[in-house]
Amino acid sequence: METTQPEAQIPIELHSQKPDSWKRFALDILETILLAVVLYVGINAVSARVRVEGTSMNPTLQNNEYVFVNRLAYLIGEPQRGDIIVFSLPLDEKQDLIKRVIGLPGETISIQNNEVLVNGVKLEEPYIAQPPVYSGEWTIGRDELFVLGDNRNASKDSHQWGVLPIKNVIGKAVLIYWPPSEWKFINHIEEAFSP
């Protein structure tokens, strides 16, 4: 008696698997690109990265350091004296600067005899490069700030171009992230007034 072995069946879908794998690969690439775009837009909505240019914030920030900026900081709270902020220059809103908040809405800032006075009280400033050699007085409106660079005599700031509208503030500087050797959280000093 002769037995016959069943013939091996060739899968019919052998050739149809290739187009499906290419479709899946293309879909994976598209999903990855879409996720990257969503993350990029999301991260830029809540933060900014800026490069410090120049020496106006010495000794706190150095030329060519990169700083991470929190765009949401003032949606939750108000700027505080001592905060280091990034803002659009009122005279040229295409130019962004980084300075320290010195005066708050409703205050009077006076600079005389190498000292900064807030409503007549001397501001202790351990973070500055040297005392200011200029003088003047400014009254800050309801929606305004007064900002100065820590390198007082080498900074273009409110003592030259006036008060800063709060609407121009981009965010609060929180972290130096480049170069890696300088990586640190920025110390926003809580100023103490002299007695």
DSSP code, position 152: G
Task: Tell me if residue 127 falls in helix, strand or coil.
Answer: coil
**Catalytic status, residue 181:** no
Pairing of strands 121-122, 184-185: unpaired
C-alpha to C-alpha distance for 191 and 13, rounded to whole angstroms: 75
- ∠ CA 10-11-13, nearest 5°, is 140
The residues pairing with 148 across neighbouring beta strands, listed in sequence order, are 100
d(CA 112, CA 103): 15
Answer yes or no: 122 catalytic: no
Catalytic residue selected from 18, 23, 99, 122: 99
Q: Which of 56, 110, 155, 158 is catalytic?
A: 56
At which residue do the structure tokens 């060519």 appear? Answer: 64
Tokens matching residue 166: 């709060």
Torsion of CA 76, 80, 82, 85, to 10 degrees: 50
- Which run of H or of E encompasses 33? helix 17-46
Residues noted as catalytic: 56, 99
